[in-house]
Amino acid sequence: MSTLQFFIAVDVTVVNIALPSIGADFGVDGRSLTWVVVGYTVTGGGMLMLGGRLGDLLGRRRVLLLGTGLFGVASLLAGLAPTFGLLVVMRLLQGAGEAVALPAAMATIILMFPEGPRRSQALGVWAAVASCGLVLGFVLSGVVTAHLGWRWIFLISVPFILVVLLAAALLVERDRPVTEDRRALDLPGALLLTACPLLFAFGVVEAGGPGTPPWAAPAALAGAVAAGAGFVRVEARSHNPLVPPRFFAHRARVAANLATMLLSGALSTSFLLFTFYLQDRLGLGPLGAGLTMLPLAVSLIVFSLLAPRLLGRWGARACVLAGMGFTAAAMAAIALVSASSAGGAALVPAMLLIAAGMGFGIVGLQYAAVAGVTEDDAGIASGVQRAADQLGGAAGVAVCLGVGFAPTLHSFDPFLVATLLAGAGLVAGAVAAWRMPAPAPARAPAPAPAAASEPSPAAGTDRRGKTG
């Protein structure tokens, strides 16, 4: 299970350094390349709660094998993709495979170990493996892209996924026969939840792009609004909704998840800004860019260890506001570096600030999002927090980079526009976090199961590359 977690975590960050090489091979610009990241995170986030429900309904072993197999096949086809369009489609399928496989893998681990120290230790190993995968992804991307080519960042995981499939088939206990009514599955809600951010991303990223009809972007944005409204309506009427309406009656959780989306959007944007500046602006190769981002990778580990300890002293709200402040300072640093055309070393302070923003902000929001849960709603609260993390990151990339690098804004520095938009989101996120009721500081805040089950900052480091 941890091997699966590791390679899915690697896949989140490993694409960052390879994006310019992918663009050069297919002749696409930075605006279009955002789909390699957005497609994966939107699909994974939108289907995450559906994946968890499938495991409960059809059996965790069956769903684990299905999701892992889908992820492996999509990785293989992504590495062999002859066109950019097919690569994006395979990234969508990778996200779907992740969303189906990881909840089942997490549930398998939880059921293997009784509640108490043994389960906590197991979840600690699971989270540590995710953190190592995220960190390795930065360096591995540069090394593999420089010496083997970008296609191998996808192909390298295929043999290990086959090992996971074989081990799961042999070692995981067989599921009981399916007896529950399959009509209880809220498939319309899951489809609408995935369609809404995908349509929104298309409307923002493709607006004004070459070859895009002028009506396409407004139509996609209108479709996103319709899908969002349809999701709310379906959930209100469903007998077994993905997100029960009563969830939104909890003020602290709603504020925490809103702040999570806005912070994750800024964090995910920063990863791609680092990559585009180092390779497109400075002309560094994949290996040089990967090594330049090594301080970010190392500092992610440091802050992921420090933040949980300070959370117990400061409380969730103070940690979240500190994380928002660190991230806003990082955006200002990126804008200054871009304006001065400084070298790659000038980005190191921004990288350290981003790591601090992840460590304090995401961990604090994770704790606030699951504060006061019971056995009846712990899974819902964790699933919504994870989905907010991934979908917020995807939406942030779509807006900040889609608008910042839009052809209609060529007279402006795209890095400045992107950082200003991310900064505006951080201000709104800080307001939401400030309005959260301040729960009592935790003596030993443990990561929520949802965070440990996904390769994200909530699991110890994030994303985003999260977003990848």
Q: Where are the alpha helices (DSSP H) in 27-59?
A: 30-58
pLDDT of residue 61: 87
User: Within its chain, how far is the Cα of 309 from the centroid?
Assistant: 24
Q: Report, as an integer, the average pLDDT of 8-17.
A: 78
Calpha distance 83→64 (Å, rounded): 30
- The number of beta carbons lying within 10 Å of the beta carbon of residue 239 is 7
Q: State if pTM tops 0.75.
A: no
pLDDT of residue 181: 52
* 372 has a pLDDT exceeding 70: no
pLDDT tens-digit map of 176-195:
766 555 556 677 887 888 78
pLDDT tens-digit map of 114-140:
665 676 567 666 766 776 676 677 777
* SS3 label, residue 175: coil
Q: What does the DSSP 8-state code read for residue 463? A: B
Band (11; pLDDT cuts 50, 70, 90): confident
- Residue 203 corresponds to which tokens in the numbers above? 């409307």
* 267 has a pLDDT exceeding 80: yes
pLDDT of residue 231: 86
Domains with residue ranges and CATH for the chain: 2-459 (1.20.1250.20)
pLDDT of residue 331: 95
